[in-house]
Amino acid sequence: MIVNISGRTDIPAWYTTWLINRFKEKFVYVRNPYNEHQISCYKLLPELVDCILFCSKNPAPLLPYIDKLNDFHIYFHVTITPYGADAEPKVPEYTFAAQSLKSLSKIIGRKNVVWRYDPIFIFKQYDVDFHIRHFAEIAEILCDSVDICVISFLDKYEKVKRNFPLAMPPNSKEITALAKQFSKIASHYNIRLQTCAEMADLSEFGIFRTPCLTPQILSRITGKNTICSGSAKNLRENCGCLAWRDIGAYDTCPHGCRYCYANNNLAAAVQNYRQHDPASPILCSKITDEDKITLSPQQTFLSSQLSLF
């Protein structure tokens, strides 16, 4: 099983103590976001967890505790974008995040760290020139710490339309300009550029649509052959990633990003964060008599045979 920490909230940034407690106690409860009284229990054991996929805008709080996860294979996506407080109110300044990624890369290895520059949107001062200038700056900082950068463009989900109505995804002309310059910059710094679940075909610029976690990537991370495939369900259209289990919860991230796909309501997210119990087996909610807890089956993707690659 692949554990995702997390597409629903930024656990490393805000819930590190809770997370380390879960691995110490070797299990976690996860509430079904579509059935509030259905709770799955996952065992957090090295023989049952093939890989931990981290997604964060701020890995710094987790860095002192990475050694607690030494028995597990780790793959870390760190999103670093240069937006200000008008778009990302509680996200650390991008140069701080970049230095945190560099520290993380030294600990777990650059092959296990991916830089994400997403979502890309156009709004006020955040025009094409802004993105090109800051992408180059961040690439220069990170070039000795990452091999891959993933980009994607803003999706105007209903919650995004409501919370950030004036931000727009780049139009076709802007996408072409960004892709052309980003490709040149990434090549200069020896960073492979790829897109994530994007409809736009940017292959003429050497930018290819690549799932974030493929059987090949899992084999490289673990050193074992991947024997099972299958795309994750309920992800964005065109996503071809291996299936994972997300242990986060929606409406729990206090970063307050106005384009957030996971928060419907920032006030609710802040309130949930304030009420969370680091010792609880479940994130930001309480177990009730109405809840049904089920031990979820955990299928490995890996063979016991070592990979030749």
DSSP string, 244-286: -EE---SS--TT--TT-SS-S-HHHHHHHHHH--TTSSBTTS-
Nearest-angstrom CA–CA distance, 191 and 87: 27
Has residue 227 got a pLDDT over 90? no
Measured CA distances, 77 to 13, 149, 300 (Å): 13, 9, 22
| Lowest mean pLDDT segment, chosen from 89-103, 191-205, 269-283 | 191-205
Do residues 11 and 56 touch, judged by C-beta distance below 8 A? yes
Has residue 126 got a pLDDT over 60? yes
Nearest Cα residue to 21 out of 297, 280, 267, 257? 280
pLDDT-derived band at 234, boundaries 50, 70, 90: very low
Q: Which residues contact 110 (CB under 8 A, 6 or more apart)?
A: 144, 145, 146, 147
Average pLDDT over residues 55-66: 98
Average pLDDT over residues 12-28: 98
- pTM score, two decimals? 0.94
The pLDDT value recorded for residue 197 is 75
Has residue 230 got a pLDDT over 60? no
Average pLDDT over residues 63-73: 97
Query: Average pLDDT of the chain?
Result: 93
| Lowest mean pLDDT segment, chosen from 35-39, 130-134, 181-185, 207-211 | 207-211
The pLDDT value recorded for residue 146 is 98
Helices 128-142/172-188 angle, 10° precision: 20
Distance of CA 93 to the CA centre of its chain: 18
The pLDDT value recorded for residue 129 is 98
Residue bearing tokens 């890989």: 51
Average pLDDT over residues 66-92: 97
Has residue 32 got a pLDDT over 50? yes
The pLDDT value recorded for residue 38 is 98
Higher pLDDT, 114 or 306: 114
The pLDDT value recorded for residue 226 is 87
| Lowest mean pLDDT segment, chosen from 2-11, 22-31, 192-201, 277-286 | 192-201
Average pLDDT over residues 113-127: 97
